[in-house]
Amino acid sequence: MKPVRCAVIGAGYLGKFHAEKYAALDDCELVAVVDADEATARTIGDRHGVRALLDYHELLGEVDAVSIVVPTSLHHAVSHDFLDAGAHVLVEKPITVTVEEADDLIRIADRNQRILQVGHLERFNAAVLGLGLAEEPPLFIESHRLSPFNPRATDVSVVLDLMIHDIDIILDMMGSEVERIDASGTPVLTDELDIANARITFKNGAVANVTASRVSMKTERKMRLFRPNAYISIDFQNRVLVRHKTGTKEMFPGIPEIETEESVFESGDALLEEIKHFIGCIRERREPLVSGRAGRRALATAIEISQLLNP
């Protein structure tokens, strides 16, 4: 098979890792990196022995696939141009700034029969893959995604920066439409929301309580699921999945015992798995795990939460 000719648009903090993964894959050929900063583009280009460009337009029609790792405000324009030129696109989350922009990208990808994948990296966490989102939907979910302050990605609120990871997983897990959202939050160190909580009620009666903070003193990425006769906890950071469920024996007369099963997954490379998945979808012409429509769904919910907090 001919290698898939790939490029990375945006070679900054995260983009340099995208370039590294493409360069490591045998069925890919990293042909160029693009960045508005000439020194950044040259550094990453020289590291992998590929072209370093300042203007992505030079690559339109020249590559099969791209990772788009630019500021969110540019996601639509850059993705639009590459999809329109016939390239497959992996765009970092959130997919776009507005739902209308997301709809536009989905239309172009469908029209040109191109893969549009959104970089919700947590879907490729080994513990999430071990859980299996297709299992019976939970009745209640509680999630916490907390981190110390980092000046990167402060162009968007904590809802679009951090909470959207959990929103994406929860929406996929529930398989039900959102009925109501209640939310609270506040800026702390930036002009955007830095800490937020949302209570999402679904039409099937399930509820998710979601908290995200980028001004915490510790890092925590955990989710707890409550299903009939089962409680499951996921530690995304340490890749630990614990299942508690009722057993066949009795703990007390008429009360079943609780069986516990803990799975600890080896340290994996979620970004490498995400990019391998992207290339596999291109070769096999199949819908990605996080399609444009999934990215749009998460964005719409995140925007609704943000609007509740900034009426």
Structural domain boundaries in the chain: 4-114, 124-266+300-309
71-116 pLDDT tens trace: 999 999 999 999 999 999 999 999 999 999 999 999 999 999 999 9
Tell me which of 3.40.50.1000, 3.40.50.1220, 2.40.50.100, 3.40.50.720 is the CATH number of domain 4-114.
3.40.50.720
Considering the chain, what is the average pLDDT of its residues?
A: 93
- Name every residue whose Cβ is closer than 8 Å to that of residue 279 and which is 6 or more positions away in sequence: 4, 25, 27, 28, 65
Angle between helices 292-309 and 164-174 (to 10 degrees): 120
Look at residues 140, 119, 129, 159 and name the one whose alpha carbon lies nearest to residue 234. Answer: 129
Instruction: Give the span between the Cα atoms of 155 and 70, in whole angstroms.
Output: 12
Q: Under 8 Å CB-to-CB from 229, ≥6 apart: which residues?
A: 245, 246
Whole-model pTM? 0.92
For residue 136, the model assigns a pLDDT of 76
Second CATH level (architecture) for the domain 124-266+300-309 = 2-Layer Sandwich (3.30)
Task: Convert the pLDDT of each residue in 143-178 to its tens digit.
Answer: 999 999 988 767 778 999 899 999 999 999 998 999
Sites in the chain below the pLDDT cut of 50: none
Q: Decide if 4-114 and 124-266+300-309 have a common fold.
A: no
Paired strand residues for 5: 29
> Is the Cβ–Cβ distance between 60 and 86 less than 8 Å?
no
